[in-house]
A and B are shown apart, each in its own frame.
Chain A
Amino acid sequence: MKKFLRLPAADLIFAVISFSASFTILTLIFSTILVLYNESSLAIHKFGLLNFIFTVDWDPVKEVFGAAASLYGTLITTVLALSIAVPVSIGIAIFLTEISPHFLKTPIGIAIEMLAAIPSIIYGMWGLFTLAPIMAEYIEPALQSVFGDIPVVGKLFEGTPMGVDLLTASIILSIMITPFIASISRDSFNLTPDIVKESAYALGATKWEVIKDIVIPYSKLGVYGGIVLALGRALGETMAVAFVLGNKHQITPSLLDAAATITVTLANEFTEADTDIYLSSLFYLALILFILSFTILAVAKFFLLRAEKHYQR
Chain B
Amino acid sequence: MRKFLTAMIASGFLLVKSFAGDVINGAGATFPYPVYAAWAYQYYKETGIRINYQSIGSGGGVRQIKNRTVDFGASDAPLPPEKLEKYKLYQYPAIIGGVVLVVNIPGIKAGQLKLDGDTVCGIYLGNIKYWDSEKIKAINPSLKLPHKEIKVIHRSDGSGTTAIFTNYLSQVCEDWKNKVGAGKAVKWPVGIGGKGNEGVANYVKRLKYSIGYVEFAYAKQNRLRYTLLKNSAGNFVEPNFDTFSAAGATADFNPDKHFYLWMVNAPGKNAWPIAGASFILLAREKVENNKKVNRFFDWAFKKGDETAKRLVYVPLPEELKSKIRNYWKKHGISP
Interface residues of A (CB under 8 A from B): 57-61, 132-133, 136, 160, 162-165, 246-248, 258, 268-269, 271-274, 279
Q: How far is the CB of A225 from chain B (nearest CB, A)?
A: 36
Interfacial residues of chain B within 178-206, with CB under 8 A of chain A in the complex: 181, 183-188, 191-195, 203, 206
Cβ–Cβ < 8 Å partners of B195 in chain A: 247, 268
Q: Is the CB of B157 within 8 A of A272?
A: yes
Residue of A nearest to B207 (CB): A162
Interface size on B, residues (CB 8 A): 32
Contact of B64 with A by CB under 8 A: yes
* A77 CB → nearest B CB, Å: 15
- Which residues on B are within 8 Å of A, measured CB to CB? 27, 56-57, 59-60, 62-64, 66, 149-151, 156-158, 181, 183-188, 191-195, 203, 206-207, 209-210
Residues of the B chain whose Cβ atoms lie less than 8 Å from the Cβ of A269? 156-158
In the complex with contacts A162-B151, A247-B192, A273-B63 CB distance below 8 A? yes
**What 9 A-B pairs have minimum CB-CB distances, sorted nearest first?**
A247-B156, A272-B60, A246-B192, A247-B193, A272-B59, A258-B192, A61-B183, A274-B63, A272-B158
> Which of B63, B183, B206, B210 is A279 in contact with, Cβ under 8 Å?
B63
B103 → chain A closest CB, angstroms: 15
Cross-chain contact A60 with B158 (CB below 8 angstroms): yes
List the A side residues contacting B62 at CB < 8 Å: 274
Residues of A within 8 A of B209 (CB): 160
Can you name 16 A-B pairs with beta carbons within 8 Å? Answer: A61-B183, A61-B184, A132-B206, A160-B209, A162-B192, A163-B207, A164-B207, A246-B192, A247-B192, A248-B188, A258-B191, A268-B156, A271-B27, A271-B60, A272-B57, A272-B60
Closest A residue to B189 by CB, please name it.
Answer: A250
Contacts of B149 in A (CB 8 A): 160
Q: What's the Cα separation between A273 and B63 when bound, in Å?
A: 6
- Docked Cα-Cα span, A133 to B27, in Å, equals 32
CB–CB B157/A164 < 8 A:
no
A80 to B210, CA, bound (A): 27
Query: Knowing that A248-B188, A272-B59, A279-B63 are A-B contacts, what are 11 other residue pairs whose CB atoms are under 8 Å apart, sorted by A's residue number?
Result: A133-B206, A162-B151, A164-B192, A246-B156, A247-B193, A248-B191, A258-B192, A268-B193, A272-B60, A272-B158, A274-B184
